[in-house]
Amino acid sequence: MRTLDKRAKVTRRRFLKTAGAGTAGVIAVVNGGVVMGAGGAWAMEVKTLSPETMATLVQMARDIYPHDHLADKYYAQAMIGYDASAGEDAELKAMLEDGVKLLDATAQARHGGGYLSVAWEEERVAILTSLEGSGFFQKIRGGLVTGLYNQPEVWGKFGYEGPSAEQGGYISRGFDDIDWLEA
């Protein structure tokens, strides 16, 4: 069983580091079907959807399930499956492309630019809220539940230690140490 130190561990250095990291979340679209994160920290190649559509989907994913401690690469990984699926399903491709066009049109009407150009998260969330009843929004939101949270690299960032069946279950390993649930 592990022992947890529940004291706050915020130092001046850590505060400045994390405060600066939140402002660096810029997604760039590069010609040739590549979407790149801030400073080239991550990149993904898209084959079916346009790079602009994929960049918008990644930002949309971050706005639907915002976790400041998760890098954009995890959101990109959650969304890349839509590119492959759109290659096999023309209706899905049309839904995604049209949904992004609707996002951009709504952002244009409200803020004078596309969805990616809206600087404030609250304003992007307001745009998403206006579209939450659409099939497009529900498709993305529903796919993110598994696409984002089924990534083993993400589990540790939430305090989840992973499946325990291979190690005899939780009963012998501190089943009651779910500190991530207490907040």
Q: What is the chain's mean pLDDT, rounded?
A: 81
- CA gap 30, 156 in Å, rounded: 31
Model's pTM, two decimal places? 0.73
Q: What is the pLDDT of residue 4?
A: 52
From the list 36, 47, 34, 56, the residue with the least C-alpha distance to 101 is 56
Q: What is the pLDDT of residues 42-73, one digit of tens each?
A: 667 888 899 899 999 999 999 999 999 999 99
Sign of dihedral through CA atoms 47, 51, 56, 59?
Answer: positive
